[in-house]
Structure 1
Amino acid sequence: MAGVISARAGLSHSLSVTQTVPNRPLQASQLATRCTSPSFLSAKLCKTRPLVVAAAMEVSKEAPSADFANRQPSKGVLETWCNADAVCFDVDSTVCLDEGIDELADFCGAGKAVAEWTAKAMTGTVPFEEALAARLSLIKPSLSQVDDCLVKRPPRISPGIADLIKKLKANNTDVFFVSGGFRQMIKPVASELGIPPENIIANQLLFGTSGEYAGFDPTEPTSRSGGKALAVQQIRQNHGYKTLVMIGDGATDLEARQPGGADLFICYAGVQMREAVAAKADWVVIDFQELISELP
């Protein structure tokens, strides 16, 4: 696309300084840890500045509002989980406490309208590609706005996810991020958690030569409904995995649970409880420690 550059431009400078992060209200089911550690800074600054991580806020977790039998995993589910060759994580409201596009929208002054579209997308009431296009048309974020948002509102990593990923990697289980969010907003999170860039499948914002918003890359599989299923299938085929698990909170994550895709869908309800999704999951968890405790 002539005259268009990807959102990857400007990432390093957008994360190269430490900013005071304003407090934002959390849901009762959240434990907040603000990511401001050196891996969010440039390599040069990492060598000279101490680790800066906001203290976690201990908030009691609420039980799911519905009585799901799948809160207790079956023997078969546990065997699949423990024998997984690879685990694919959704990012927004799973790896991170926030929905990245909602954060960007709020930062740009279009929060309420965009959040309504996000809810529709995550519950599966509208095609994902329709919701993505509608939200971005409301935001129309410039490259500088995306960069500023990353600096002033860095992603908040969900409590327990770092320990879970560390445990999976220790068991030689590969980890991927498969997200309908934006690659630029996900890359610093992946770096913080030790996930290589090639293990990220996400959407790509496009900008004009002056940094103005110019759309998104429609060829990314996660830009449309059914895209996560396709992405997971491709991951499985490319690496020859025998057993693959998908973990997420939304309808697009549930779609990955199909022949040739994920063998298991675990609904993480520690941030958002989407009952229509949870009801169809193989296992519903509200704390990543539940997954850690079952691993060998």
Structure 2
Amino acid sequence: MAALISARVHSVCLTYKCRSSPLLQVTSLRTISTTQFANAIPSEEVLKIWHSAGAVCFDVDSTVCLDEGIDELADFCGAGKAVAEWTTKAMSGSVPFEEALAARLSLFNPSLKQVQEFLEKRPPRISPGIAELIKKLMDKGIDVYLISGGFRQMINPVALQLGIPLENIFANQLLFGNSGEFAGFDTGEPTSRSGGKATAVQQIRKVHDYRSLVMIGDGATDLEARRPGGADLFICYAGVQLRETVAAKSDWLVFDFEELLTHLTA
């Protein structure tokens, strides 16, 4: 089994090291094995929750999409390296998310025109296998949500492409002035601050009586959604970025969506 996982991970590395954007440095995963991460093999309890899920919530950046959206937008606006450094801090949980979000945006202050040009010239890149997994989930009557610290302007096109209702998006909102100048972001969105994804999951559960709810993502903010009253199961997706502290604390560590799809249909 360890050999199978190592082979799969090696294939993932070869795929993503060739991406056009230099911003995301994919951790070398060749040595990953079940010795290092026992949770790479799901327990019976984990599979029971996965099979009974009434809703699945996905992070977007480095999960549903290959890129970190804010890093890509910053790169487009000429501030890629500085913003990417802040993103690393935010995803590792070393600084409060709201502090990192404000700091990153202040480095390039994107205008409405820049955002529109960015979306036109650099459309979102969907992760391999995610479309098939989401389709299968929805075919089985499982509700799908996108919960992201990214921005609705960039996430709405992703949701439309994958057939996810726009009302099932929890994300941040860029604000612009009358002339299209950058005016900050909506601090009223739960995902604009640390613990926001847990808050979003709790809000979802207040409205819907799901038998169980699963959160899938790669970062510390996704792991937070596993708090009491939040997600019943946190799956760490490491197909783009492996964040070892997050992976170690997850209920299930996966490196491709095909594994989740296989267990869903088993």
- For the criterion TM > 0.5, the same-fold answer is yes
| Counterpart Cα distance in 1 of 2:223 and 2:54 | 19
Partner of 1:295: 264
For residues 259 and 102 of structure 2, the distance between their equivalents in structure 1, rounded to whole angstroms, comes to 36
Preserved contact between residue 132 and residue 223 of structure 1 (Cα < 8 Å): yes
Deviation (angstroms), 1:139? 1.6
- 1:205 matched to 2:205? The reply is no
Partner of 1:251: 220
Once the two structures are TM-superposed, the CA of residue 169 in structure 1 deviates from its matched residue by: 0.7
Of 179, 192, 195 in structure 2, the residue corresponding to residue 226 of structure 1 is 195
> Aligned-pair distance for 1:241?
1.3
How far apart in 2 are the matches of 1:223 and 1:170?
Answer: 31
Letter in 2 for 1:283: W
Whichever residue aligns with residue 28 of structure 1, its letter is L
What CA distance in whole angstroms lies between the structure 1 residues aligned with 2:233 and 2:76?
A: 36
Counterpart residue type for residue 212 of structure 2: T
C-alpha distance in 2 between matches for 1:64 and 1:175: 33
What's the counterpart of residue 145 of structure 2? 176
Q: Does 1:89 align with 2:58?
A: yes
- CA RMSD for the aligned pairs? 1.8
**One-letter amino acid matched to 2:58:** F
Structure 2 runs not aligned, ≥5 long: 1-11, 21-27
How far 1:239 sits from its partner (Å)? 1.2
The 3-state SS of whatever aligns with 1:246 is strand
Q: Are residue 136 (structure 1) and residue 93 (structure 2) matched?
A: no
Q: Following superposition of structure 1 onto structure 2, how do residues 59-208 of structure 1 map, counting pairs within 5 Å?
A: 62-63=29-30, 65=32, 67-208=36-177
**C-alpha contact 2:149 2:192 (8 A) present in aligned 1:** yes
- Quote the offset at 1:27 in angstroms: 5.8
**Contact kept in structure 1, 2:72 and 2:80, CA below 8 Å:** yes
AA aligned opposite 1:100: G
- Say if 2:79 and 2:108, in contact at 8 Å, map to a contact too: yes
Give, as a single letter, the amino acid of the residue that structure 1 aligns with 2:156.
K
**TM-fit CA distance, 1:242:** 2.1
Q: What are the superposed Cα offsets for residues 243-277 of structure 1, whole Å, 9 maximum, x if unpaired?
A: 00000000000000021100000000000000010
Identity of counterpart residues, as a percentage?
71
Q: Decide whether aligned partners of structure 1 residues 189 and 81 sit closer, same or farther in structure 2, where only a CA change above 3 A counts.
A: same
**TM-fit CA distance, 1:30:** 2.9
Once the 2 structures are TM-superposed, how far is the Cα of residue 114 of structure 1 from its aligned partner? 0.2
Amino acid at match of 2:129: G
**DSSP 3-state at the match of 2:241:** coil
Residue 30 (structure 1) aligns with: 16
Alpha-carbon separation, structure 2, partners of 1:162 and 1:144: 29
Equivalent in the alignment of 2:238: 269
8 Å CA contact 1:31, 1:159 repeated in 2: no
Aligned partner of residue 249 in structure 2, secondary structure: coil
Indicate the residue corresponding to 1:20 in structure 2. none
List gaps (5 residues or longer) in structure 1.
1-25, 35-60
Q: Which runs of 4+ in 1 moved over 6 A?
A: 31-34
Q: Which amino acid aligns with 2:202?
A: Q
Is 1:240 the counterpart of 2:209? The answer is: yes
**Offset from partner CA, 1:85-135 (integer Å, 9 cap, x none):** 000000000000000000000000000000000000000000000000000
Equivalent pair of 1:33/1:158 in contact (CA under 8 Å): no
1:11 aligned partner:
none
